[in-house]
Amino acid sequence: MCGIVGYIGDRSNVLNVLMDGLRRLEYRGYDSAGVAGIVNGEIDVYKEPGKVANLDQLVHIENDVVFQKVGIAHTRWATHGPPNQMNAHPHFDQDKEFCAVHNGIIENYATLKNQLQKKGHIFHTQTDSEVIPVLVKEFYDGDLFSAVTAALRQIVGTYGIALVSKHEPNKIIVARKGSPIVIGVGTDETVIASDVAAVVKHTNNVIYLDDGDVAEVSVDNIEIRNLDAVPVSRKVDKVDWDIASAEKGGFEHFMLKEIYEQPDSIKNAIRGRLNFEQGTAILSGLNMTPGELTEIERVIITACGTSMHAGMVAEYYFEDLAHILTDVDQAAEFRYRNPIVNNKCLVIPISQSGETADTLAALREAHMKGAKVSGLVNAVGSTIAREAGRGVYLHAGPEISVASTKAFTCQVTVLLMMALKFARSHRMPMPVGKTIANEIQKIPDYVQQVIERSGEIEKIAKKWCKCHDWFFIGRSYLYPTALEGALKLKEISYLHAEGYNAAELKHGPIALLTEDVPVVALANDIDGKDKVLSNMQECKARKAPLIATATEGDQEVADLTDDIIWIPKCHPLVSPVPTAVALQLLSYYVAKELGCSIDQPRNLAKSVTVE
């Protein structure tokens, strides 16, 4: 969950490249940051606790810092040891001969550390990562690549690493196992990172390392081998977005920018994927014929967090439209509970980054059990995208804010198209398919209409932002949307928020309702709305403030509530998308009013690459 940057080339401003890369990867971790490079034949290291700005201030105070051709950098999300200067990366051996940055977890670090200490090596940090440069020192006999591979063969766990040595100052060794590493191939320079966001400013040509790859990178050469030193071939891919997509573009926060981008991102997710004449979806990435679709007897969606909420909406879609038994599994539990999976199952792992460790583990378990697997990811070239073998990209563009917004709405939209495709291959009549396809096409317009009400939503946020506890309730397609709304609020405002199926209120949670606990009721015009209205009456009787989302013009809901957020009239199937956008805006403006760190909430990071 940390950000790694490395550079080797002829630029005189190596430090500037590293610092810029760290700023672009800070969403992957912001507990501490550090840089290291070769200066006059020695390794210099600078690191600071806190955000990258603290490190930037330090290196500017040390204004004579000039790294010679090569450098590595890191922004940390703490696992082992508190976020302080000592535990910040890069890490090095006691003589500063070898220096490394690491993303992942070394499960046997305590054993390795004990063995190395008995041999006289000295450790200075509480991290697991420090064993990497010390192990390399132990194995080094004049060949850096061999020393690194020997060290990695001792490690149990996950890693993405970049390592430099004063003994071979004109190269960087990078490796991955379970944690992403991308190599940007430029002209007379190479940029290494854990995410393409740090690379695209310099080049759009990238190589994604696979698990087990170790690359020796010099100014004019990239040689990739496995841990047994056998050469492997990896193709050069082209990144299809530019650096402007990963910048704020005049918005105060990335989150607000990404909320406002949703009409366009959803258009990109839909473009070319609807067949209006046949009332179906065109999803070539599924790589399944209509006959093969009919052979699927069960769909299992596995994901974490926001992606899991999207999957919960899709459970309704697949069962209501295609009449296929569908389950949603929390990815962290999937491989540990021995799920019943066979070749009649389609497993859909969902992950914005395509690197979520638990979801990747679930994918591999599904493959092991003989299921068909179709990934749903946003990041092109990500591990889940490559290992799934088939799948669908979101095309949402880069999502920098830690709190996911446009990825969620694109996930729900694409999952609806998948369900439509399955349904048309089963028993759905063409006219029904055409109606749904036409409604999917209108989703960007519905979202735009909600965004145009931002000012009204901001006023509601200001009115209730001082309340410390919130409930979100909904039914049917809007039940998972309520869960997602609660998650957004707690993520970025640090307020306590819970999402419930509206029916669950009276089974315990209603005991917590007071006049200081707002209830956000999703009362759009869908099946079950009458029951939601009854639940709202129950809340009102306990004097809880009521905020509702409702279909435009619904006076019955308006008469019940203290405040209302209007959602455009739309088909119930697509209503979760504009409703989710309304809740994103509500959460954003609450957090802004409270002065929270919206793009980089405390304790969180964007890409969860540890279990």
* Residue 232 CB-half CA count within 13 A: 18
Place of tokens 């409702």: 550
Q: Which one is catalytic: 2, 304, 539, 570?
A: 2
Tell me how far apart the alpha carbons of residues 47 and 5 are, in angstroms, rounded to a whole number.
Answer: 14
- Residue 369: closest CA among 348, 349, 389, 340: 340
- Residue 42: closest CA among 97, 124, 93: 97
Edge-to-edge strand list for the sheet holding 469-474: 496-501, 469-474, 519-522, 546-551, 563-567
Burial code (b: 16+ CB inside 10 Å, e: under 16) for 5-29 equals bbbbbebeebbebbbbbbbbbbbbb
Annotation says 467 is catalytic: no
Taking each helix axis as running N to C, give the angle between helix 576-594 and helix 430-451, from 0 to 180 degrees, rounded to the nearest 10: 20
Residues 55 and 34 sit within 8 Å (Cβ to Cβ): yes
Q: Which one is catalytic: 137, 257, 490, 606?
A: 606
Tell me how far apart the alpha carbons of residues 410 and 434 are, in angstroms, rounded to a whole number.
Answer: 20
Per-residue H/E/C for 87-134: CCCCEECCCCCEEEEEECCECCHHHHHHHHHHCCCCCCCCCCCCHHHH
Looking only at Cα atoms, what is the longest distance across the chain? 79
Tell me how far apart the alpha carbons of residues 68 and 209 are, in angstroms, rounded to a whole number.
Answer: 26
Annotation says 410 is catalytic: no
- Residue 8: closest CA among 169, 160, 136: 169
- Residue 280: closest CA among 428, 457, 409, 178: 428
Positions marked active-site: 2, 606
